[in-house]
Each structure stands twice: as structure tokens, then as C-alpha cells.
Chains A and B, each alone.
Chain A
Amino acid sequence: MNRRDTLKALGLTTLSAGLLVEACKPGENKEAVKEHEGAEPSVDEAGRQPFEVERDKELLKDKFFTDHEMHTITVLADIIIPADEKSGSASDAKVPDFIEFIVKDIPEHQVPMRGGLRWLDLQCANRFNKSFVDCSEDQRIEMVTEIAYPQKAKPEMQQGVIFFNRMRNLTASGFFTSKIGVRDIGYMGNSPGKWTGVPEEVLAQYGLQKYRNNS
């Protein structure tokens, strides 16, 4: 199979990573694979086992977090990954929606997240007489600073540290696997081509020019 046929087989004659539609043969179902923007998740059935399709449909029906919890998650996520010169914030990348889905998908997250969010609100209630989301920006940052640095947090903040580590992980997972985030971190793969080894200027950067011929 030559390269042109290969690319045609994949529906990639323009090498765009957009709509990927598989060639239709008479009598076969058309399988369209769509890019998800994250806003309207739907269940993709191609190459999925029936139990996976059913499971996804069930998960999408449920709601786990309360509105207050989602609000707290959104504020936290944007503190963890804010907008900057390069890209948008966690909520720009729909990270809270991702977190809502993932705790349904991976139930081990449910109790630690729910409990951690409540712990956080209690801390704020004791310090500021308000829930976390009702605190001022300065108060929120003061609170987060207590739990964001595992090596220097006070011992009595340990539960918050563990919660914040989880929240940071989930926020980073959700952000950097979104379209915005994949672009931000600079992943340049997933694009048919030829691997010809480490680029010359990169070899030079690290003093590895000796590998120029077999790299």
C-alpha cells in the first residue's frame, strides 16, 4: 500500500486532524468520529464494546456533585491553572465538567473529593465565617497557600494537602488533555509522517552531535 493510498484509507488527504470519516461500503454503517469540544459529550460507539457504550450512557445520566461543590471545584481549578499569556484557564477548557465525569467514571475519587471539599469549607468557616467560594480572592489564596505546598504545610493541614494534590492532579489531567491544553503544552504528534530521528539543532543543543547519523 503506498503512502497516498494509506492516507486515503484514513480519510486524511488534507492531513487535518478534524473530521475523520471512514470510507463507506454498501451495506455498512457509516462511522463518523468527531472531535469533542468537551461541551456536549456523546458516546462514541465505534470500536467500543456494548458494555462500555451502556456504561457511558448511564454515567452521563447521573449527577454527582452539588451545585455548591461544582462552584468550589471551578474556583479551585482556576486558581490551580489560571489563564495566562499563552492559554485560557481550567474553566475555559471545561475542566470542572471533566472532573464531574471522572468521579463518576472512577468512583474512588468520590469520597476523597466530597470530603476534601467539605474540609475546605470548614476551614474557611472557622477562619473567615464563610464557605470557600464566598471568601474574597485574598482569603481564598491564603487558604490554598496553606495546603498547596506538601513540604512546608503544617501537620494539621495534612488532609488539605492530600485533597489539594488530588485536585491539582485532576485539574492538570483535565486541562492538558483538552484541545486548549494539548496545544498549550506543545504536543505535536498524532500526525502521520516519518520519524527521522532527533532534529539536528536539538542534537547540537545537548552536545549529542555524535549521534547525527544513527539518530
Chain B
Amino acid sequence: MDDFQIKKSAEIYDAVIVGSGAGGGMAGYVLANAGLKVLMLEAGAYFDPAKDSAQLKFPWESLRRGASSTRPFGDFDAAYGGWQLDGEPYTTKDQTEFTWFRSRMLGGRTNHWGRISLRMGPKDFKGHQIDGLTDDWPITYEEIKPYYDKVDRLIGVYGTREGLENEPDGIFLPPPKPRLTELFIMEGAAKAGVKVIPGRGSVLTEALPGNKDRGACFYCGQCGRSCKIYGDFSSSSCLVIPAVKTGNLKVITNAMVREVLSGPDGLAKGVSYIDTKSLQEYQVRGKVVILGASACETARLLLNSKSSIHPGGLANSSGIVGKYLHDSTGASLSGFLPQLLDRKRYNEDGVGSVHIYSPWWLDNRKLDFPRGYHIEYGGGMHMPSYGFADDIHALNGTVPGRDGKMKEAGGFGKSLKDDYRRFYGTRFGMAGRGMAIAREDNYCEIDPNGMVDKYGIPVLRFNYKWSDYEIKQAKHMQETFKDIMHQMGAIITSKIQGPETNYGLEAPGRIIHEVGTVRMGDNPAKSALNKYCQAHDCKNLFVVDAAPFVQQGDKNATWTILALAMRTSEYILSQRKKLNV
């Protein structure tokens, strides 16, 4: 006899948090340390970098030598998941090319991310007066600065104080010194008029004062595998696991939340979820519900949480939920330096984040696109992995051999074997990451054709098109890269992208910086959340991932997610009486 029932627990938590990434993790950390009884639900598996990281494995320890057969960023990469998840489809409208990355694990994407930690600047929060193209946040940089400061101290970030107006300085640990290729890049960039400064990353280049749980970095360059000694930022290692130790945070993994449950008074009561392993259904109760499921997943949750009081979905009387979705722009170019043939060998792993980068350096008033981008640089004598030496036939015919004579491209045998050695460590690349303009007509919605995932949860449909602004920005990236490479004396090896490929502008979703789907704002007719990320329509519902972003900067979202989540969590604590928490 089949006995299908939903297990409803009587316990009422002070807060139920959906998602264990940067935002959910920070909310759990702050609230648990303040003594609240918190339940955190994570859709994916438990993951502790100390045990589960592939750090320090050599390539031969992977059957596929690190290839991306099951993990998009390589076999040792820490992300469980990718742009396609079995049984969890999504759809796209018309010519939309949006692909949606989900990282189903404790800590989410923070396990594998690039650790690049950039504060948004004053002009990013209040950009409308620049050119009228973007909406202002309801907060200023000055209001969020104290939280950026606290995040810097709590988690640790390296960098240098530069005094740049829209790249605010943090409280920095010393940055790692540049590698050899990076020095050549700095030389070439200077000649091309492109500013290069030390990178900013959440890696402990020195021990973090007052923290005995995390080790100082030992420079293996493998942050993307997550760190066994917690030397870099993952929500799992730095927020959730410490919060559990307070005794106030309970984490349930493999828990896919279906919807937020609300009562006849319109307030959130808790959530319903399915255990993805046993397929048992549950409902849990909380005085406050906090969503940190990632921007699109949180929008999906709200849209799927309909009731008579919230017919358009929870927190959606404005109709804004799902809209203003935007991802960073991205385009890249790569090449090699003939000067670096036959490099002396030494350990140059460094950190697994940027040693140098270029913050936006130009005045858009003199350009044909409205907003800027930063540049990330890579290269060096990395650990060999599947495909790392591919297509040497594109390189070894371009430079003279050891005897000074040009050789025929390609080949085989001892001479080819020697070529692989000669070229090792000469390749490098550069990639732009820019601000896309948030637009109402780029959005996600519940698939109107009724598609559900394997749990029966209605799926998202994406509608997204880059505008001319983003395409022209990508064109500028390519011109800049070519210029720097020319000044370096480098030989370009990747295909030079033209208008037919939008100058190599990556499809939306490929950069994995989606933000904006549950906007904050002062006007409840045009926003879903107030400036504390509290839902206008539902006072005990909060959002702590990147969904509340009004407009991204030319910075990735993580550090701002952390600051906002901390601020929202402190607001929840200050409102305890009103929220009955």
C-alpha cells in the first residue's frame, strides 16, 4: 500500500534559510551567532572542502586527467553541477541563448569560484545620473561600506589601496606578487595605456587575525578545487560549518525547496521541500523565511509560491519578480610570448585567484558604449591537464627552432616532444568582465507551457537578448586585448572574433553572475524588496542572494552579496520584536 504523506514538523524555527551559498551562508552565520535557532535547507549534497576537495591531486590521479567530462570546469573543480542538471530542465523563449549554471552542494558556487573580490563603487549604486540608462539602488556606497569592511575583516581579502573612486579600497591582506607572464602583461598594458593594479581576492595570503579554524594560503593555485585548510573563501568552510558549531544552526542537505508557504495573513509560515534522495516530502516552519537560493532560483521560488493573498507569487504584487535579470558580459583573447620559450622551471602556482587585474580605466563619454569592464589575466607554468598542450601546430611553425631556422608547423617525434617543452609556460590569456545594463525585458518566468522538473516543480523560462551596448563593449574588449598583445610582442593564437560572433561576447549565463531578478527599491510598485531586502508584501520574507541587485557593476557579485546579506541579517536582528523573532 502506497503511503504518500507530507511530514509536517511542529517545530517553529526562528529563521528558515533556503540555500547555503554566499548569501544564505552569511545569514546563517550572523543569525546563529546571535543565538537564533536557524534551519538551513540546501538542495545539493553536503560538502566540506577539508574532506571533499581534490586539492593537491596530480593530473594522473584523474582517470580523465582533469577533463571536463562531468564537471564544466574540469574534473578536479569543486562544483557539483553545471549548466545542465539531470531532471532539472529550463526553457528559453524565441532566440534566447541563456544557459543557467546550478551548483548543487553545500556552499554552492562559492566552492569553485575565482575568489575575485571587488566592492561595487559609488557610481555603481547611483549610476542613473551618468547617462540615464540604469536605475539607482535605494542605498549608497556609504551605507553598505561598513558591511564591506566587516566582511573584509571576517573573511579576508588581499589587495592594495589605490584610491580609485569607483573601485573602493578594502581592508587588505598583502597581494601575491605577479608571475613572469604578468610582468610582461604589465609592460604591454602600460604601453597600451591600460591600467594594471594588484589583484583583489579572498585568499588568506597571511593568517587571519583571531581565526584558528582557517590556515594561511600555501600557494598551490588550486582555489577552484576548494581548500582543505580553508585558506580561501567558500561559504561551506567560512560560514556554514563554523555556524553549525554554535549549536544554533541545523543544516539539511539534499533538500529541494518547492515553495514558500504563507498563511491567511499573507505572512510566510515556512517552506515545503522534498528530500531528493528518499523523495519524502516535508514542511517546516519558521518565523522568518530567508531566500538565498541564487538569483533565478529565488525568483522561481517566489513565483511558485502563489496564494490567494499573493496571486502573482509571493512578494510579487509589483509584477517585477523575474525581471531585470542580467549577467556580466565576457569576451577573451589568448596568445603566447615568443620571448618566454625555453623558460627556466620553478614553482609559480601562486594563488588560485588574480595576481593582477585592470579595473575600468576609461571615460565612457568618449566611447560608443555606456559602461565599463575589468580585465582578468591568466597564464603560466600550470599543472598539466587534459588538453593543455592542444594544437601545438598553431604555435611551433611561428617561431624559429633551436637552430634558428623556421620549422614546419605540426610534426612528430623528438623534435615535437622538444617543442612541447619549449612552449610550456608561454601561453596566456585575458578576459573582460563587464557591466550589462539591466533591462525589464530580460527576464525569467515560470514556463508558460507547464513544464515541470523531476520533482514536479514548475521550471523557469528565460528571455534574454544582449543589446548593442554590450556588443560594443565586447568589441572594445577585443580591440584592447589586441593592442596589449601587440605592445607585449605576443602572438595571438585564439580566433579573432568579429561582428558575426558579437566580438566573442559570451552567451548570457556563461559568466555565471546572474543578478537582479527580485529588485530592491523604495517604491513597492516597482520593486519587490525594500532597502533591507525585506519583501514589501511580506514583512517576514527576506532575500540574501544576488536577486535584490538593482544594477550590477563591472564587478562580480560575491562580495556585495556577502555585505548585503550581513546587513539584512543585522536588520532582522534589530527588528526582532516586530518580526516576533
Contacts and interface: CB of A to CB of B under 8 A. Distances in A.
Interface stretch (A34-42, A66-74, A127-135): A34-42
A9 B67 contact: no
Contacts of A149: 408-411
A65 to B, nearest CB: 16
Contacts of A184: 421
B417 interface: yes
A84 B412 CA distance: 13
B53 A47 contact: yes
Contacts of B414: 82, 84
Given A1-B207, A150-B393, A173-B65, A182 B384 contact: yes
Chain A contact residues (Cβ within 8 angstroms of B): what range? 35 or more
Given A102-B64, A179-B58, A214-B177, A191 B412 contact: no
Interface in B381-412: 381-393, 397, 408-412
Contacts of A105: 63-64, 67, 69
A26 interface: no
Interface string A146-170: 0011111000000000001100110
Nearest to A20: B56
Nearest to B48: A47
Interface in B312-345: 339, 344-345
B210 interface: no
Interface in B25-73: 45, 50-54, 56-61, 63-67, 69-70
Nearest to B69: A105
Contacts of B387: 169, 173
B9 interface: no
B61 A35 contact: yes
Contacts of B421: 184-186
Contacts of A31: 51
B178 A36 contact: no
A69 to B, nearest CB: 19
A56 B63 contact: yes
A110 B418 CA distance: 29
A188 B347 contact: yes
A128 B516 CA distance: 66
Interface string A177-202: 11101101111111111111111011
Contacts of B97: none
Nearest to B418: A84
A80 B251 CA distance: 53
A119 interface: no
A60 B63 CA distance: 10
Contacts of B392: 168, 172
Contacts of A164: 410
Chief secondary structure at chain A's binding surface? loop
Interface string B517-538: 0000000000000000000000
A162 B440 CA distance: 46
Nearest to B211: A1
A176 B65 CA distance: 10
A102 B51 contact: no
Given A5-B215, A149-B410, A168 B58 contact: no
B219 A174 contact: no
B413 interface: yes
A173 B412 contact: no
Contact of A189 (B69, B348, B410): B348
Contacts of A84: 414, 417-418
Contacts of B418: 84
B44 to A, nearest CB: 9
Contacts of A192: 56, 218-220
Interface string B212-227: 1111101111100000
Given A187-B383, A199-B344, 16 more contacts: A1-B207, A1-B214, A1-B215, A1-B216, A79-B412, A165-B393, A169-B391, A189-B349, A190-B56, A190-B58, A191-B347, A192-B56, A193-B219, A195-B350, A201-B344, A202-B344
Interface of A: 1-3, 5-6, 9-10, 12, 17, 20, 22, 31, 33-38, 41, 43-44, 46-47, 49, 51-52, 55-56, 59-60, 79-82, 84, 98, 101-102, 105-106, 144, 148-152, 164-165, 168-169, 172-174, 176-179, 181-182, 184-199, 201-203, 205-206, 208, 211, 214-215
13 contacts: A6-B216, A35-B60, A47-B52, A55-B70, A81-B416, A102-B64, A105-B63, A105-B64, A106-B69, A144-B412, A182-B383, A188-B381, A193-B347
The 8 closest A-B pairs by CB, nearest first: A197-B177, A192-B218, A47-B52, A177-B59, A189-B349, A186-B345, A177-B65, A6-B215
